Amino acid sequence: MEILMSITVGVLFMVGTYLILTKSLLRLVLGLMLLSHGAHLLLLTMAGLKQGSPPLLGEEAAYYADPLPQALILTAIVISFGVTAFLLVIAYRTYKEHKTDDLDKLRGSADE
Amino acid sequence: MTSLHWAILAPFLLAILIPFFYKYVRQIHTGWFVLVLPLSLFVFFLQFLPITSNGGVIHETVPWVPSLGINFTVYLDGLSLLFALLISGIGSLVVLYSIYYLSKKTESLNNFYVYLLMFMGAMFGVVISDNLIVLYVFWELTSLASSLLISYWFHREKSTYGAQKSMLITVFGGFSMLGGFSLLYVMTGTFSIREIIEVADVIVTSPLFLPAMILVLLGAFTKSAQFPFHIWLPDAMEAPTPVSAYLHSATMVKAGIYLVARLTPVFGGVAEWFWLVAGFGIVTLCWGSISAVRQKDLKSILAFSTISQLGLIMCLLGLGSASLYYGYGTDTTMYTTATLAAIFHLINHATFKGSLFMTVGIIDHETGTRDIRKLGGLMSIMPITFTISLIGVASMAGLPPFNGFLSKEMFFTGVLNAATLDIFNMETWGLLFPVLAWIASVFTFLYCMIMFFQTFTGEFKEENYDRHVHEAPIGMLISPIILGSLVIIFGFFPNLLSYTLIEPAMAAILPGLLAPNETFYVNIYMWHGFNTELFMTIGVIVVGTLFFLSMKKWAKTAIYLRERDPLNYVYDHSLVWLVKGSTKVTHIQMTGLLRDYFAYMITFLVLMVGYTLYRYNAFTIDTVNVAEISPYMWILTFVFIAATLSIPFINHRITAIIVVGIIGFLLALFFVVFRAPDLALTQLLIETVMVVLLLLAFYHLPELRKEKFTPRFKMTNAVISVAVGVVVTLTALSAYALSHTNNMNPISDFFVENSYDLAGGKNMVNVILVDFRGLDTLLEVLVLGIAALGVVTLIKLRMTGREDV
C-alpha cells in the first residue's frame, strides 16, 4: 500500500510542478493545491498505513491508526487553505488590475 | 594604555576636534592647529632613540579582543622608530607646507586635515603595531584615508577615478594580506609578530608557507606600487601636492616596504622570498625609470620615479634576505650591505622625494602648469626653488656629494655582491641584477636631467602662463629647504644616522644574525676609493648625458610619445569587462519570468536530492512492512492518478477547477479509507469552499471565461516535472524503508495511552490538537485570521491614482 501511495504522491508532485511551470496564473494556483495534496498524503503515508481502528478511544480496539500525523495534516490543511484562499484573491485582483493572467506579461519593468 | 598607545590615537582624537576649529576659529588657518601634533609626536619619538639604539625595545599590550588573540600591542624597535620618525617628521613639514599651499578661503580645510590626521594615525598604527590584525585594521585605514585624500577635489572626474583605482588595488592587496595573516595564525596560533618570528623555523616546513608568503607579498606589493600593481600611483597624482608628497612618496607607499622588512625574519632565507622580493623589485625599478622618461607632467615623472625607487628598496630588501640563509657567520656581512643600503635609501628617498614634490607644488602653484613642454627658464625667476630642486634632483640621480650618491653606491655594492651568491640559482642568474640595476640607473639619470633642464633652463615664455610668475612665499619654502638641507647633511655626514637609526633598524630586520652585544658594522663613507661601483656611476653619468643630448633624435619614437602606462589598458578593460560580463550573466539568469525562477529552484532541488540519493547509494525499498492493498484501493488509486494526470490536458479553466475539486474529494475518500475521520471531514469541507471560491472568482471575470486557454506543451517543463515526481517517490520509498531498518518507534503510543487519562478526551486527534499540541492550533487560527484580513484588505482597500496597485 505504501509503495502505491508513494507513486501516487509522486504523480501529484509531478503534475503540480508541471502546473506551476506554465504561464497561467490560475494553473499556478491549481498546481499549488495539488502540491499541498501531495504533501498531506505523503505525511499520512510515511506514518504507515497498517490497518487499525480510527484514533478514537471509544472503539476500544487493540490497534489504532497513528493519531499524530493526522493532527499534523489537519493543521497543514487549514493553513494551506488560508494561503491558497489569499493567493486566489491576489490572483483575482491581479487580473482585475492588469486584465491578464498570463505570467509572461506580468513582468516587472526593466528598471525594477 | 601607555604613552605609545596614546601617540597612535592622538591624530584620531585631534581629527574629531578639527571641524570645530575650522568652524569657530575662521581667522586662523586650521593647519596651524594640526601642526602642533606631528611636531610634538616627532619630539616624543626622538626620546626613544637612546633606548632603541642600545638594542632596547618597548613592548606594551592593551587587550582588545583577547578571546581571539587580538590585542592592541605596541612594539617599538629600531625599524618602527625609523618609520615613526619619518611619518611624524615629514608629516610636520607637509602640514606646514600645506598651510601655505591650500587657501583658507577657497578650500574645505576641515576635510583635508581630518583625512590627513586619520592617515597619520593609521600610519603610526601600522608601523608600531605588533598584532597582525591590528596592523591590518590600520593598513586598511591608510587605504581609506589615501582614497579620500586623492579625491579631495571630488568634483574633478580624474580625482575620483584615481581614488577609485587606488582603493580597488590597495584593498585587493589588503584582503590578500589578511588571508596571509590568517594562514600565519593557522600555522603558529598567534597574531603577534614577535611570537611568530620566534617559531619561524616551524613555519618554513609548513605546507601553508608558500601561500601565506604570496598573499602577504601581494599586500605589500600593491601598497608599495610594485610592478604590475604600480598603475594606481600615477593616477593618485590628482591629489593636492602636499598629499602626494606625504602619502605617495614618503610614507604610505613605504608601508609595503615596512611590511616586507618586518616579515623578513619570518619568510626570509628561502629562495622563493629572495626571488619574489628582489625580482619584482628590480623589474619595478626598470619599468618605473623607463616610464618616467616618457612623462610630460612633473608630478607624473615623480610618480614613476617613486615607483622605481620603491622597486630599488624592495630589491635590496630581497637581496639582503639572503644573509638569513647563511645564519650567523663572518661571510654574511657582505650580504647585509643590501639591507643597510635599503634602509639608508629609504631615509634618503623620503628626504629628496618630499622636497621635490614640494618644489613641483610650488612651480604648479606659481605658474599654473606642471607640463614640462610649457615650463622653462625658471632659474632666475625662482632661484630658491631652483636651488632646492637642483639638490633634490642631483640626489635622486645619484650624484655626489648628496645622500643619493651614497645610497646608489651601496645599491651597486649590494647587487654586485648578490651576483657572487652561489645559492638560489644565483650562479646562473646573478649577473642579471647588476646589469638591470645599471640600466635603470641610466634612465633614472636621464629623467632627472629632463625634469631639471626642461623646467629651469631654456627660454622663459611669458605667454605660457596665465599669471604673473614669481618666487613662492617664504612659508611655502621652509619645508623644502629643511628637506634639502637634510639631503646635504646626510650626504656629508651619513654617520649621523648610522648607529642611531640604521643599525637598530637592521637589527630588527635581520635578528638572530648577531651574537649578543655585537652590532652591525655600518660606517658609511663618503669616499671609498676607486672601485667597480664608482666606475659604474661614471658610466651612468656618461651614457645618461649622451642620451639626453641626443634627445631630439629619439624623442619622436612611438614609445617615447606614449605617456600612459600600457598596463592601464589591462586595468581599464578588465573593469569594463567585469561590468559587461556581470550584466550579461545577470540578464541571462534574471529573466523576470516567475516560471524561470521556479524552474531554477526546482531543478536545483531535484539535482541535489537526486545526487545525494545516488552518492550515498541511499535508495532502498521495503516490501516486508507494507500494508496489503485491498482490491477497491486499486480502483480508487487508479481513478485518482488518472484524474491528476488529466489536468494538464484540460483546455477549459472551469473544467480544470472542477477536476481539481474532484481530486480533493478523492483525497477525502483516501482519508476515510485510511481511518482518519477528522481529516476526511475537514478535507471535504475545505475542498468544497475552495472550489466555490475558485469558481466564483473566475466566473465573475467575464473576459476570462470566454478566452479559451490552450496549454502549450513544453518539453523542459515536462522533464523537470517528471524528475520531481520520480525523486519524490524514490525519497518517500527510501525514507519509509529506512524508518523500519532503524527500528524507530513512533511516540504515538503515548497519545494512545494517555489521551483519556491526562486530557479526558477519547478523540485522540482532537486531544492532540487542542491539548497536547495546542500551540500549533493557536497559531494556525492566527494564520487563518491574517489570511482573512488580507483577503478583506485586498478586496476592499484600493489605492487610486497610482500606476501600480
Whether B794 and A93 lie within 8 Å, measured CB to CB:
yes
Candidate ranges B299-308, B468-477, B699-708, B734-743; pick with highest mean pLDDT: B299-308
Candidate ranges A12-16, A99-103, B762-766; pick with highest mean pLDDT: A12-16
Q: Cα(B675)–Cα(B763) distance, rounded to whole angstroms?
A: 13
Which of A21, A22, A66 lies nearest to residue B746, judging by beta carbons? A66
CB-based burial label for B525 (10 Å; 0-12, 13-18, 19+): exposed
Per-residue pLDDT tens digits for B362-403: 888 888 888 888 887 888 888 888 889 999 999 998 887 788
Q: Which residues of B696-724 are buried (b: 16+ CB within 10 A; e: fewer)?
A: ebbeebeebeeeebebeeeeebeebbebb
Closest by Cα among B451, B469, B447 to B460:
B469
**Residue B368 CA neighbour count, 13 Å, CB half:** 8
Those of residues 73-112 in A touching chain B at CB distance below 8 A are: 73-75, 77-79, 81-86, 88-93, 95-97, 99, 101, 103-104, 106-108
Which of A17, A68, A91 lies nearest to residue B721, judging by beta carbons? A17
Beta-bridge partners for B56:
none
User: What pLDDT score was predicted for residue B384?
Assistant: 87
Task: Kindly indicate the confidence band of residue B181, based on its pLDDT and cuts at 50, 70 and 90.
Answer: very high
Q: What is the mean pLDDT of residues A42-69?
A: 86
Nearest CA in chain B to A41: B667
Those of residues 23-52 in A touching chain B at CB distance below 8 A are: 23-24, 26-27, 29-30, 33-34, 37-38, 40-42, 44-52
All residues at 6 or more sequence positions from B475 whose CB lies less than 8 Å from its CB, including other chains = B96, B99, B100
- Reading the block at residue B805, the C-alpha cell is 496597485
- Reading the block at residue B518, the C-alpha cell is 655585537
Residue B514 above 80 pLDDT? no
Which of B663, B677, B724 lies nearest to residue A13, judging by beta carbons? B724
B627 phi, psi to nearest 5 deg: -75, 155
Residue B160 above 80 pLDDT? yes
Q: Cα(B146)–Cα(B735) distance, rounded to whole angstroms?
A: 60
What secondary structure letter does DSSP report for B61?
E
Which of B660, B717, B729 lies nearest to residue A10, judging by beta carbons? B729
Whether A78 and B644 lie within 8 Å, measured CB to CB:
no
- Give the helix/strand (H/E) hosting B76: strand B70-76
Q: Determine the distance in angstroms separating the CA of B300 from the nearest CA of chain A, rounded to an integer.
A: 41
Residue B703 above 70 pLDDT? no
User: What pLDDT score was predicted for residue B715?
Assistant: 86
Q: Cα(B503)–Cα(B520) distance, rounded to whole angstroms?
A: 6
Long-range pairs for B359-362: beta carbons < 8 A, 24 or more residues apart: B359/B385, B359/B388, B359/B389, B359/B392, B359/B480, B360/B241, B360/B298, B360/B299, B360/B302, B361/B97, B361/B101, B361/B241, B361/B242, B361/B244, B361/B245, B362/B472, B362/B476, B362/B477, B362/B480
Work out the percent of chain B whose per-residue pLDDT is above 70.
93
Residue located via cell numbers 508513494? A6
Task: Kindly indicate the confidence band of residue B801, based on its pLDDT and cuts at 50, 70 and 90.
Answer: low
A67 touches chain B (CB under 8 A): yes
Chain B residues with beta carbon closer than 8 angstroms to that of A18: 648, 717-718, 721
Rounded mean pLDDT of chain B?
86
- Which ipTM was obtained for this model? 0.94
pTM of the shown model: 0.82
Residue B211 above 70 pLDDT? yes
Q: What is the mean pLDDT of residues B473-489?
A: 89
Per-residue pLDDT tens digits for B70-108: 889 899 888 999 999 999 999 999 999 999 888 888 888
Whether B711 and A12 lie within 8 Å, measured CB to CB:
no
The count of CB pairs under 8 A between chains A and B is 256
User: What pLDDT score was predicted for residue B525?
Assistant: 64
Q: Cα(B216)–Cα(B273) distance, rounded to whole angstroms?
A: 11
Beta-bridge partners for B65:
B70
Chain A residues with beta carbon closer than 8 angstroms to that of B795: 89, 93
B566 touches chain A (CB under 8 A): no
Task: Kindly indicate the confidence band of residue B462, based on its pLDDT and cuts at 50, 70 and 90.
Answer: confident
Whether B748 and A66 lie within 8 Å, measured CB to CB:
yes
Which of B626, B697, B784 lies nearest to residue A92, judging by beta carbons? B697
User: Do B545 and B449 meet the contact criterion of CB atoms below 8 Å apart?
Assistant: yes
Q: Cα(B394)–Cα(B451) distance, rounded to whole angstroms?
A: 11
Q: Cα(B153)–Cα(B138) distance, rounded to whole angstroms?
A: 24
Chain A residues with beta carbon closer than 8 angstroms to that of B746: 47, 66, 68
Closest by Cα among B38, B49, B45 to B498:
B49
User: What pLDDT score was predicted for residue B706?
Assistant: 55
User: What pLDDT score was predicted for residue B494?
Assistant: 80
Measured between alpha carbons, how far is residue B603 from residues A20, A41, B584, B726 in Å?
Answer: 13, 23, 22, 13
Which of B144-148, B500-504, B684-688 shows the lowest mean pLDDT across its residues? B500-504
Does the CA dihedral B29-B30-B31-B36 come out positive or negative? positive
Those of residues 730-759 in B touching chain A at CB distance below 8 A are: 732-733, 735-736, 739, 746-748, 751-752, 755-756
Whether A77 and B682 lie within 8 Å, measured CB to CB:
yes
Q: What DSSP assignment string belongs to B534-583?
A: HHHHHHHHHHHHHHHHTHHHHTTSHHHH--S-THHHHHHHHHHHHHHHHH
- Reading the block at residue B494, the C-alpha cell is 651619513
